[in-house]
Structure 1
Amino acid sequence: MKVSVRCFGFPLTWYRPIAETAEHEGFHGLWIPDHVVSPTLTDGKYPYSSHGRPSFDPATPFADPMVMAGHLAAATSRIRLGIGVYVLPLRHPLAAARSVMSAQELSGGRLVLGVGVGWMRAEFESLGQEFSGRGGRTEEMLGVMRRAWTGEPVRHEGRWYSFPELTVAPGTTEPVPVLIGGASERALVRAVRHGDGWYGPPGTADQTSAYVSALQAELERQGRERSTFRLVARAPEDDPLAGVRALAERDVDEVVLNLPRNVEKPGEVTAWITAAAGRLRTEGALG
């Protein structure tokens, strides 16, 4: 099982030293979140908290994840750069294909694309995108993008998108792994049908275990081998290091640790990463 870290809520200039430290300490990947805008008022329908509110406020810093992936790629050489998760239906599939392809090539094939359909209606409306139908659009977008990444001419006539023959060159040297996020029944079916794996939401180890069991059942239902599907789980936020041990018993391939946010300097975060790596190595959870 691999162990990675998730960079969230920090000033954007902190990401580079965090990524460099995580790579130096042997973590498998660094995951970057995504939102284009943060409306000052939400509808209280965030699906992963009991009170319906997200764990960030409108002033929380967000980077364009593909720009940040390119930035971090120039500062590192080994660590995987994950997007967890890219709110895909906020974009046009060709624009998204271009951005992802650029980050993949500039990172030397180290990008992992987590994809979500989004939950914040106000964000969609602010960008002039329909909130309804976003699941179907996402599925169609993934088909378009995978064809575009070949670098070969592609044309498309679909329910949501249509365009004449064109290319998005150059094609990607390495395939882009696509993990589908979410925990609804539709999201889990979509992950098995359209994804190379699943990127889990925040929650307890028991909640994650229930999602994993549902995914395993769906893999069997669709006749897909478990070895072809990557399970990436988020460690519980209250005690992420203990969560690594708990999730190691749940048949996941990668556990993602949230980094502490109640800090004032980047050195506090990098020190936490170093200490966490030492503890995980002692426990045999980090190579």
Structure 2
Amino acid sequence: MTSFRLGLALPQYGKLADPSAIAGFATEAERMGFASLWVGDRVLTPVAPKTYYPSGTPEQPYPPEFVRFVDPLLALTIAANSTETARLGSSTLNGPLYSPVLLARSLTSLDLLSGGRLDVGLGLSWLRDEYTAAGVPWEHRGARLAELVKVLRTLWTADPAGHHSERWDIPDSLIGLRPLQQPGPPVLLGGASDAALRRVGRIADGWLPAGLPIPMLRQKWAVVVESAEKAGRDPESLRRVLRINPAPGSKTASVEDVAAQLKAAEADGITEALVDLHYVAETVPHALELAGELHAAVFA
């Protein structure tokens, strides 16, 4: 697996949520050979949520680990200061909840701090209560995400830069701070619905699938490819970064099983993946121990 790029989720939530541990973890993960480091996003965990996690139930509407969550942009900032080569990504930021002007500034600063290593992963979030808490409409959130991507790219490249719509009225402004990556950091989108996949093909630099078996990945990628071709874009230029979340007690939770999933993904043409160890690691040192075993199993 010489060309395969394996990433790792930073210790950010649940038992591993400790901002003071992120720097050491990131440094060690890069030393081990991990090619990328990733964060997720959770704004809050309501007692009685209006919508459930995809595998949630009334008794357990979301993973209990979500109750404790370090800010994703802070975690990426720490990792940027602690590493030299690993790319830094989000899988994913809940895009529509953010002000495009403030998010553009933060992401530009992160790209500069990291020396141009930032991958901007954006999604919609499944939790309606987050939209309520942020004062953002739940309706038309897909269109809001697409417009956010457009505004970010405008603020990263235009001079002067502005945007005028019913959602956001940003006066034409002079913006001296520019990302090191031009025309801006790659924008990767999550989601597995047909609408989300078509959006990836139309406007994104890549797709962030999560927890999907290979046959389903193929079917959904075909939707992305068709959408890209209809938009006059080259599907071969789009990235796929597969996310694997091993869970305790599952049939695919062991290091060997995860390594087998990664090798199967590579054989099917996927060249990038990340593994999230939050559900199987008891401590940050334990997560690093598992990470070392996984890297050895994949690249032996």
Q: Are 2:239 and 1:230 equivalent residues in the alignment?
A: yes
Q: Cα gap change, 1:233/1:58 in structure 2, threshold over 3 Å: closer, same or farther?
A: closer
Equivalent position to 1:166, from 146, 165, 173:
173
Equivalent position of 2:227 in the other structure: 218
- Picking from 62, 74, 95, the partner of 2:69 is 62
How do residues 43-192 of structure 1 correspond to structure 2 at under 5 angstroms? 43-47=50-54, 49=55, 51=57, 56-57=63-64, 60-150=67-157, 152-174=159-181, 175-192=184-201
Residues in 1 aligned to 2:218 and 2:56: alpha-carbon distance in whole angstroms: 19
Instruction: Give the aligned residue type for 1:122.
Output: D
CA contact (8 A) 2:41 2:92 kept: yes
**More off after superposition, 103-112 vs 33-42:** 33-42
Compare 26-35 and 247-256 and name the one that shifted more: 247-256
Provide the residue aligned with 1:280 in structure 2. Answer: 298
Counterpart of 1:285?
A: none
Equivalent of residue 17 in structure 1, options 15, 20, 24: 24
Distance 1:55 1:4 in 2: 24
Measure, in 1, the Cα distance between the counterparts of 2:261 and 2:86: 21
Partner Cα distance (1:36, 1:144) in 2: 22
Q: Which moved more, 1:215-224 or 1:176-185?
A: 215-224
- 3-state SS of 1:256 partner: strand
Q: 1:136 to 1:97 in 2, by over 3 A?
A: same
Give, in angstroms, the shift of residue 191 of structure 1.
0.7
Q: Which residue does the alignment assign to 2:286?
A: 268
Q: CA deviation at 1:159?
A: 3.0
The one-letter code of the counterpart of 1:11 is: A
Amino acid at match of 2:285: G
Residue in 1 aligned with 2:249?
none
Superposed structure 1 runs of 4+ greater than 4 Å apart: 50-55
Match for residue 260 of structure 2 among 239, 242, 245: 242
2:44/2:67 contact within 8 Å kept = no
1:6 matched residue in structure 2: 9
- What TM-score do the two structures reach when normalised by structure 1? 0.90
What is the alpha-carbon distance in structure 1 between the residues aligned to residue 208 and residue 66 of structure 2? 25
8 A contact 1:151–1:171 mirrored in 2? no
Query: Over residues 47-101 of structure 1, what are the superposed CA-to-partner deviations in whole Å (9 max), with x where a residue is unaligned?
Result: 4x27586652276322222221111111111111111101111011101111111
Change (3 A) 1:59 1:33: closer
**Deviations for 1:184-234, whole angstroms, at most 9, x for unmatched residues?**
111011111111111112233333233223323333333322331111112
Amino acid at match of 2:277: L
Match of 2:36 among 29, 37, 42: 29
2:220 counterpart SS class? helix
> One-letter code of the match for 1:163?
I
Contact 1:156 1:163 in 2 (8 A): yes
* d(CA) in 2 for partners of 1:250, 1:212: 12
User: CA-atom RMSD, angstroms?
Assistant: 2.1
Per-residue deviation, 1:106: 0.9
Measured in 2, the distance between the counterparts of 1:245 and 1:51 equals 32
Counterpart in the other structure of 1:38: 45
Residues 202 and 227 of structure 2 are in contact (CA less than 8 Å); yes or no, is this contact kept in structure 1? no
Distance (whole Å) between structure 2 residues aligned to residue 221 and residue 253 of structure 1: 24
Alpha-carbon offset, residue 264 of structure 1: 3.3
TM-score w.r.t. length of structure 2: 0.86
Q: Distance in 2 between matches of 1:200 and 1:19?
A: 23
Contact 1:5 1:256 in 2 (8 A): yes
